[in-house]
Homo-oligomer: A and B are copies of this chain.
Amino acid sequence: MTGQLGPQDLPILAKAGYYLALRVGFAFPLEEINALPSAWVELYTAERLMLQDPVIRWVYTNTGTIRWSEICDDDPGDVMRKAREFGMRYGLCVAVSDPVDEGQRSFGSFARPDREFMDDEINLLSDFVARTHRAKAPPTNVTLAEIEALRMVKQGKRLKEIAYQLGVSEGAVKQRLKNAKLKLGAKTGAQAAALASQFGLI
């Protein structure tokens, strides 16, 4: 396999499921993609395995890639054994951080039932997480005025109302949202508000 992975390749490569936590900041990620077996998710949630999970511990304290089998860490909650019962026998962790912005990191965990991940697969997945991490980088050039307007759109306010409350003309609000849409790459105000929300801007 050569070239770059896309999201559509993940189910094939990570046959037993995968999990992505994108842009983890203070404690939690801006976005999470959970394609793990739903029965496992239920158990993991109910038993609150996160804090005991050696995989989570590894990605929080390291950067790079590692096979689950190579993680040298206690597993008091027996999380890895439990995971095996859901088909997640062999796995890979990826943790990346942006060299220019160490504040946010992204994690990926990929599982398969049949064999270890091979070196070139690891490279592909690592590259995929790194690219996704960069792609989800919040834009830095959105002005405070634009963010204000986006926040009020998200709150369900009309342009007229926003203009009145901000003390500017409706045209100005339109202009702000237009700029915000451009910077966020959004086609509509709804999308812009959702994106800004996802980026943690509002």
Q: Which residues of B contact A103 (CB under 8 A)?
A: 42, 45-46
CB contacts under 8 Å to B, within A85-122, are 102-103
Chain B residues, CB < 8 A from A186: 156
- 22 A-B pairs with C-beta separation under 8 A: A21-B28, A26-B34, A26-B44, A26-B45, A28-B28, A28-B29, A28-B32, A42-B103, A45-B103, A46-B102, A46-B103, A48-B60, A51-B56, A153-B188, A156-B186, A156-B187, A156-B188, A156-B190, A158-B188, A190-B193, A193-B194, A197-B198
- Could you mark each residue 143-187 of chain A with 1 if its beta carbon is under 8 Å from any beta carbon of chain B, else 0? 000000000011111100000000000000000000000000011
A positions within 8 Å CB-CB of B? 21, 25-29, 32, 34, 41-42, 44-46, 48, 50-51, 56-57, 60-61, 102-103, 153-158, 186-191, 193-194, 197-198
Contacts of A194 in B (CB 8 A): 154, 190, 193-194, 197
Q: Report the minimal beta-carbon distance from A51 to chain B, rounded to whole angstroms.
A: 5
- Residues of B contacting A46 in the complex (Cβ-Cβ under 8 angstroms): 102-103
> In the complex the two chains form, is A153's CB within 8 Å of B190's CB?
yes
Instruction: Report chain B residues within 8 Å CB of A102.
Output: 46
